Amino acid sequence: MINWRDLPPVPEAEQPDFPEDFTPSQTFLRHMDQCDRAAMLHRVYGGGAGSAQLNRGSLFHETADRIIRLSIESPEEIAHPRGDYQPTPEEVADQTSRKVPPDLGKVILAEVMDEHPELQVPAEERDALRYLIDHFCRAFDPPPPRQILGIEKTLTLQTGGFRVLIRPDLIVDRGGGLCEVNDWKTAWPPDSESFRAQAFDAAGRPRWAGNFQLNMAAVVIAYGLTDDGLPLGRFDRYRLRLAFPRILRQDGTLDERVVEVDALQLAAFREDLDRQLRRLREVCIGERRWQATPGTHCSECPAPNACPLPRYLRPESQHAALDSPAALESAAGAWLFASREAATIKRRVKKAAEELDLDAVTISGGDEELAFTVTPKVEIRDREAMLAEAEDASREGRPFSREPFIRRTESVEFKKRKRKP
């Protein structure tokens, strides 16, 4: 009998290749933080199929990166015509402004979309991207260039027998020993209360950033090296900031969730990361033991159909835990996807049944069937004339017939019903 809580090793031929210089990505480690098997599946399937949300995130990040670089590295180009963007006389006159106007931001977004036709996003997501960039341009206040420590800068850290790598969206030296790590999020923000409960303890002290990616980023920034082999610098505190361009607040800033941690907390988190990586090397890769641990994260599994656990043991993969707005949003999205899928499958079954000249198709394993059902319908052609005739007939004492006023039709529906014995 299989012990679902301690699965046997993955057969050697099924374990993906982990070369000596394997560099676990943040996404790989984020999966492993919650389910070892999900991390392995991420390695096998390369993150799974794309999605409109992932593509939206990629397009937004590329555009935001260009907007930041423009305002930091070549602000003199801001007041130049570009695509459909024509700077106003005020923008041309103001040579000191380093803010990228929203209309220019949208032109840059269009350029990024043209350069990446493979990143398919539907009309509603394209619309969302335009207002996300609009909000971002309005809110982004470029820090002085000397404070910028990195825009999508690669940092690496040798720890736990691996080299881990991060590329935060923007790192800023805010002075006074404070380093700010920014991460733009294109989803809706988590509600403040659940974020507070996740990120702070009962006394209001930050527990951790509530986001594995930001924690790891702060650890690698604190202890790691840049491409040129140098550390970023010494800081006492790290501000981990998730910014949500979905919401532009009244004061012109983006909605955000912020946690500040000190160097001592990061030391503890580094130890934790180290332990995870040792487990990866010795237990997961070494013994080929990739335990599957279900939870709400199953909704983000790279390949849930390749999970060794039967579905009844992982109800969370079917959105059982609906305990936050984000989980509800994800479940609602899954419902929409599933209902569209269901409609498509039913349409295909119906078409095939017509071609095979079948009256009904048994639903596998059950006593129900999908059947062509004829339902008679009665349509009144002229209600007023029919009522007038009924009134006349009753006044004159003659029989009334509604037949001349109605049309009888039949509708054929392909629907579920109990199978006849």
Residues contributing to the site for ligand SF4 (CB under 6 A): 35, 37-38, 41, 292-294, 297-298, 301, 304, 307, 309, 314, 317
Closer Cβ to ligand SF4, 170 or 309, answer by number = 309
Q: How far is the CB of 375 from ligand SF4 (least distance, A)?
A: 42
Q: What are phi and psi of 242, to 5 degrees?
A: -100, 120
The least CB distance from residue 41 to ligand SF4, in Å, is 6
For 33, phi then psi, to 5°, come to: -60, -25
Q: Toward ligand SF4, which CB reaches closer, 35 or 277? A: 35
Work out how close the CB of 26 gets to ligand SF4 at its nearest, in angstroms, rounded to a whole number.
17
Give the strands of the sheet with 178-184, arranged side by side: 148-151, 170-175, 178-184, 237-248, 254-262
Whichever of 51 and 154 has its CB closer to ligand SF4, that residue is: 51
Q: Residues near 400 by Cβ (< 8 Å), separated by ≥ 6?
A: 389, 390, 393, 394
The residue assigned the tokens 């394209």 is 126
Phi-psi region of 274 (alpha: psi -120 to 50; beta: other; left: phi over 0): alpha
Could you tell me if residue 55 is left (phi over 0), alpha (psi between -120 and 50 degrees) or otherwise beta?
alpha
Nearest approach, Cβ of residue 302 and ligand SF4 (Å) = 7
Question: Which token pair is 264?
Answer: 């001592």
Q: Sort strands 162-166 and 155-159 into parallel, antiparallel or unpaired.
A: antiparallel
- If the CB atoms of residues 218 and 301 are measured against ligand SF4, the closer one turns out to be 301
Residue with Cβ nearer ligand SF4 (309 or 370): 309
Closest CA to 225 of 292, 150, 295: 150
Task: Name which of 274, 269, 326 is nearest 159 in CA terms.
Answer: 274
* Nearest to ligand SF4 of 10, 406 (CB atom): 10
For the bound state, the minimum distance from the C-beta of residue 9 to ligand SF4, rounded and expressed in Å, comes to 16
Q: Shortest distance, CB of residue 291 to ligand SF4, whole angstroms?
A: 9
In terms of CB distance, is 246 or 297 closer to ligand SF4?
Answer: 297
Cβ at position 11, least distance to ligand SF4 in Å: 16
Q: What b/e readout covers 263-301, taking b as 16+ CB neighbours within 10 angstroms? A: eebbeebbeebbebbebbeeebbeeebbbbebebbbbbb
